[in-house]
Amino acid sequence: MEDIFKQQLAITIANDMNNNEKKEANVIIHSSEPITIDRIKKDLIKLGLKKGDMILVHTKLSSIGWVNGGPIAVIQALQGVVGGEGTIIMPTQSGGLSDPSNWCRPPVPESWWKTIRETMPGYDPRYTPTRGVGIVPEIFRTCPNVIRSSHPQVSFAAWGKQAEKLMANHELENGLGESSPLAKLYSSEAKVLFIGTSYETHTSFHLAEYRSKCRKQVRLGTSIIHNGKNKWVWYKDIEFDDEIFGKIGEIFEQNHPVVNGKIGNADSKLFNMAESVDSATNYLKNYV
């Protein structure tokens, strides 16, 4: 019966669904059962997550399977496992608040740049949406008692005991460097959790780019709110390059303890954040 249902659903996908509907339907086809909050909790505990943990989470919701409750179920499962003594952090980047001269996917005409800079809405941690980090962080940033940092492009959001401390004083320049939440996580015995993601998106490796001093400095632009009005500002940062993050991750995993397992259907990893940064820093210093 289930095979017949999936065959019928596949026909419907081909003939009568928009792109978002097709994505969800394909997840259903490749799922053997619904993934519930309790199932996610059990899988998180089996992987090694425990009460009181401070955890930086990277997620790809569709990799888990068909989750009953979607991103809310994932968030509530994480909160239920680490509890009020723990802390959950997620990247809530908003790369759209950047200089249009650097846009390439897609680019915009040069004749638009001046207007975009002058009229771009300033960053507001309450309202500015995430971009490119997935639906779970986008929902997470809006949840009760979640605090979001002040950086207009590379913010983080946190819930739990250390949330306010971690998100405070996120400076504009060198946004993923020594005055960022990443540096605080490094000093706080934080763990990293990949749920269906990989080292290619490991935000913490950017901290290693600063510490290795292998990247050149660049000037970036963004829009902030100053005295209640939108204001375009320029600031200094480094030129990030994540193309070798996958290779750096492989080397890290060969030499350090990493727990591999499943959250639902998603290939997942749990490991020490500081160890991963140190490993990446060493590689970048010596080979880049």
Which of 14, 37, 13 lies closest to 25 in space, CA to CA? Answer: 13
Q: Which residue has the tokens 């500081």?
A: 274
Look-up: residue for tokens 């300033």? 122
Place of tokens 């971690």: 166
Q: Which helix (H) or strand (E) holds 235?
A: strand 229-238
Domain identity same for 274 and 202: yes
Do 20 and 154 fall within a single domain? no
- Distance separating alpha carbons of residues 128 and 139, to the nearest angstrom: 12
Structural domain boundaries enclosing 20: 1-30
Per DSSP, helices labelled H in the chain are 2-16, 19-29, 37-47, 61-64, 70-82, 113-119, 135-140, 163-167, 181-186, 205-212, 245-255, 273-287
Total domains in the chain come to 2
**Cα–Cα distance, 19 to 30 (Å, whole number):** 17
Q: How does pLDDT run across 214-262, given as a tens digit for each residue?
A: 999 999 999 999 999 999 999 999 999 999 999 999 999 999 999 999 9
Instruction: Say yes or no: 159 and 217 in one domain.
Output: yes
pLDDT in tens, 122-163: 999 999 999 999 999 999 999 999 999 999 999 999 999 999
Model-level pTM? 0.91
